[in-house]
Amino acid sequence: MRSEGVLDTTKDNHKELANDKKRDYSQYFQTTYAPPSLKDAKKRGKEQVQILKDFSIPENLKDIGVGKKFYIRTYGCQMNEHDTEVMAGILNEMGYETTDSTEDADIILLNTCAIRENAENKVFGELGHLKHTKANNPNLLLGVCGCMSQEESVVNRILSTYPQVDMIFGTHNIHRLPQIIENALFSKEMVVEVWSKEGDIVENLPRKRKGNVKGWVNIMYGCDKFCTYCIVPYTRGKERSRHPQDIIEEVRQLAREGYKEVTLLGQNVNAYGKDFEDLDYGLGDLMDEIRKIDIPRLRFTTSHPRDFDDRLIEVLAKGGNIVDHIHLPVQHGNSDILKLMARKYTREHYLELVGKIKAAVPNAALTTDIIVGFPNETEEQFEETLSLVKEVEYDAAYTFIYSPREGTPAAKMVDNVPMEVKRERLQRLNAVLNDISLEKNKAYVGKVVEVLVEGESKKNPNVLTGHTGSNKVVNFKAPKHLIGEIVKVRVTDAKTWNLGGEWVEEKSEVVS
Ligand code: SAM
Ligand code: SF4
């Protein structure tokens, strides 16, 4: 089931509409416009995923951006960062060049994140600021894309309150960017194009990667897990895996171009291959093939504990270029809350999996995501999160206060936990996590680690910074020509968030 549509309305019309903030504008335009629909986005039919390889920039749009500049601000996860690389690639092929200033941009795109309310508020705040930029430069095209565009409430709000926006397009419409820009430019009309479809795969999109050292490679799109708190399955469509050959070819190309690190991307990479009808092939099989490619570091994210299988653990144990870092979001330490979250594993299953991973990859650094203050979380249940954190001894964690997302099942749950209790729990959790991180980092002091040098430290341009395979940030002094290389560093100093060290040229025993 899919709904697709384009809304065209003149700017004059649009201003008129902006006067009435309470109206549902999708209703208003229903003859010409199929609005994003979370209900449609939730459906998972039998319709086959189409693999499209026919992307091209129409002849009349190839030079349309010559002499013009674009600016993309990206919010949220690596998936969004990578989508930005694709949009930058498309814009480059249309002649546009990048700029890091909104003031001299001819196109500004906000690639948005819908995961929590404060992520959305940042975007609305930015749209407010950009009103002035638009007023100073009426020829500017301002677009909103990414996960927020997939929500009908957001589209309605933009239509009613932010007339400075020229284009809204969804996560399934990125390959339509040239046509969307053409509509916005030539007809000078507001363009809304958001497909609430289950999703296809467009293989031959251009990409302008950020840097030439670390590359992201999508292995799958979408999510079918429907954790009760999460908006992603609605905004990103159904799970659909890229064909192994297409992924392997992309990684080989990055290796040929001299990239040092590849991260395989998906919302739930462990479900890779489950949607293949005629192929029994999973993430373990894919990693086993990719690890043979001459690329120094191979990462993958994000893992879902439910689908993390023994085949993958067996391949991770082979080491080599597969880094010893696994991001394994647990979300909560109490099995009843995990059930309410529909995570489909218990505390015991999770701990058993961690045990297996630690046995197979003894040096593995484990990181996680945790939500506190899920509706009606009791003090005892929260303490189970604390005890799980102490038991696993995570190297680091992303921690969040639960944020209700309209349209998700958890948003309908009545919640008796006051916000100040949620905040206090978050602080207690972070204190425990920080103590563990510091202890873990102290264990590195005196050891020599391999660091992929990413650039100058933001705080001090005389210091270089990079990551170990285990994802520790290491700061050290060394010549700038080492940027982009993997070098050895002796750790001299450990803090909660990073390590300090000295560059070593001689051969030493390397721990990570
Ligand atoms: N697919 C990944 C997984 O399942 O682990 C994570 C995707 S999501 C972009 C990243 C993290 O955001 C989640 O792991 C979760 O901790 C957090 N998150 C998602 N929805 C949330 C919500 N409604 N409130 C607070 N945190 C949320
Ligand atoms: Fe969201 Fe759960 Fe899917 Fe992760 S697995 S993207 S948390 S629904």
DSSP 253-280: HHHHTT-SEEEEE-TTGGGTTTT-SS--
Q: How many CB atoms lie within 10 A of CB 376?
A: 14
Is ligand 1 within 6 A of the CB of residue 403? yes
CA 198–ligand 2 middle distance (angstroms): 16
125 Cβ neighbours under 8 A, 6+ residues apart: none
How far is the centre of ligand 2, averaged over its atoms, from the C-alpha of 271 (Å)?
Answer: 11
Q: Is the CB of 267 under 6 A from ligand 2?
A: yes
Residues of the chain with pLDDT under 70: 1-35, 46, 187-189, 506-512
Buried b (16+ CB within 10 A) or exposed e, 44-59: eeeeebeeeeebebee
pLDDT value of position 54: 86
- pLDDT at res. 506: 62
**DSSP symbol at 30:** T
How many residues are present in the chain? 512
* Residue 238 CA, ligand 1 centroid: distance in Å: 17
Instruction: Check residue 369 and give left, alpha or beta (phi > 0: left; psi -120 to 50: alpha).
Output: beta
* CA of 329, nearest ligand number: 1
pLDDT of residue 60: 94
Q: Are strands 51-52 and 201-202 parallel, antiparallel or unpaired?
A: parallel
Q: How far apart are CA 171 and CA 83, in angstroms?
A: 9
What ligand is nearest to the CA atom of residue 410? 1
Nearest CA to ligand 2 atom 2: 227
- Is the shortest distance between the CB of 86 and ligand 2 below 6 Å? no
Beta bridge partners of 369: 398
Q: Measured in angstroms, how far is the CA atom of residue 115 from the centroid of ligand 1?
A: 7
Ligand 2: distance of its center to the CA of 342 in Å? 10
| Collapsed DSSP state (helix, strand, coil) of residue 327 | strand
Angle formed at CA 283 by CA 282 and CA 287, multiple of 5 degrees:
125
Q: Which tokens go with 423?
A: 């905040």
Please state, in angstroms and rounded to a whole number, the distance separating the CA atoms of residues 145 and 74. 10
Residue for token pair 């897990």: 225
Across 141-286, where does the E strand assignment appear? 141-146, 167-169, 189-193, 201-202, 214-218, 220-221, 240-241, 261-265
Grouping H, G, I as helix, E, B as strand and the rest as coil, residue 475 is: strand
Do the beta carbons of residue 376 and residue 416 sit within 8 Å? yes
Evaluate: CB of 410 within 6 angstroms of ligand 1.
no
DSSP letter (8 states) at residue 510: B
Contact call for residues 394 and 433 (beta carbons, < 8 A) = yes
As a whole number of angstroms, the distance between CA 219 and CA 274 comes to 12
174 CA from centroid of ligand 2 (Å): 22
**pLDDT given at position 436:** 98
pLDDT value, residue 510: 60
Looking at residue 67, what is its pLDDT?
97
CA 342/CA 332 separation, integer angstroms: 11
Whole-number Å distance, alpha carbon 230 to ligand 1 midpoint, is 6
Question: Residue 512's pLDDT is what?
Answer: 58
Task: List, in sequence order, every residue forming a beta bridge with 372; answer none if it has no partner.
Answer: 401
Residue nearest to atom 5 of ligand 1 (CA): 329
pLDDT at 30: 32
> Which residues are part of a known binding site for [4Fe-4S] cluster?
77, 113, 147, 223, 227, 230
DSSP, collapsed to helix, strand or coil, labels residue 483 as coil
Q: What is the CA radius of gyration of the chain?
A: 24
Q: Is the CB of 422 under 6 A from ligand 1?
A: no
- 225 CA to centre of ligand 2 in angstroms: 6
Chain-centre distance of CA 410, in angstroms?
22
End-to-end CA separation in angstroms for the chain: 48
Q: Which residues contact 455 (CB under 8 A, 6 or more apart)?
A: 464, 465, 466, 483
Distance CA 300, CA 327 (A): 8
Q: From CA 58, how far away is CA 226, in angstroms rounded?
A: 37
User: Which of 113, 230, 340, 400 has the most ligand 2 atoms within 8 A of CB, as the residue to mutate?
Assistant: 230
Rounded to two decimals, the pTM is 0.91
Ligand 1, atom 19: nearest CA belongs to which residue? Answer: 230
Whether ligand 1 lies within 6 angstroms of the CB of 301 is answered as no
Does ligand 2 have an atom closer than 6 angstroms to the CB of 222? no
Q: Is 173 in the pocket of ligand 1 (CB under 6 A)?
A: no
Collapsing DSSP to helix, strand or coil, 384 comes out as: helix
Distance CA 183, CA 190 (A): 8
Closest ligand by atom to 119 CA? 1
